[in-house]
């Protein structure tokens, strides 16, 4: 079975409580359950991770080539600021999908630029928790079509 890593960045551990206008009521734990169930249907083993620390996210990304077949990442606020995460994503040859719960292009000006998207195969945003399902479908397609 192919393995994927789903990384969630800073403050996503607060989902369900923060800025419900943008992020809704869904918790990160519920998203994790949805991802694990949908991954199984696609013959993927899902490893779910969240960190508020840039260095820890980078260290997880650096494991992808060795331990995983693809990565889905919601860099959260680091989307707009982290050249270090961009560089880590560029360093892996595995398929990569960036996902965002809100539509970053309909938000504040400073959120409309994704630095990290320069290193991924595609970006899915604005579909709430369903964006993760779309990302799993996309990564599944990339993994099995490249195999």
- Residues with a catalytic annotation lie at 23, 100
Separation between Cα atoms, residue 48 and residue 4, nearest integer Å? 9
Starting at the edge strand found earlier in the chain, the sheet holding 122-125 runs 44-50, 2-8, 70-74, 96-100, 122-125
| Residue 116 host element (H or E) | none
CA end-to-end distance (rounded Å), the chain: 12
Category of 139 on φ-ψ map: left (φ > 0), alpha (ψ -120 to 50) or beta: alpha
């Amino acid at each position: 079975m192919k393995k994927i890593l789903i990384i969630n960045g800073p403050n996503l551990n607060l989902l369900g409580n923060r800025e419900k206008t943008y992020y809704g009521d869904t918790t990160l734990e519920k998203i994790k359950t949805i991802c694990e169930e949908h991954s199984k249907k696609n013959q993927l083993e899902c490893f779910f991770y969240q960190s508020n620390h840039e260095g820890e996210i980078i260290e997880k990304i650096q494991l992808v080539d060795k331990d995983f077949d693809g990565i889905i990442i919601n860099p959260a606020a680091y989307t707009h600021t982290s050249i270090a995460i961009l560089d880590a994503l560029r360093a892996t040859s595995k398929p990569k999908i960036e996902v965002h719960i809100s539509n970053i292009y309909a938000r504040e000006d400073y959120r409309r630029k994704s630095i990290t998207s320069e290193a991924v195969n595609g970006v899915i945003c604005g579909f709430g928790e369903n964006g993760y399902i779309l990302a799993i479908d996309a990564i599944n397609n990339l993994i099995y079509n490249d195999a």
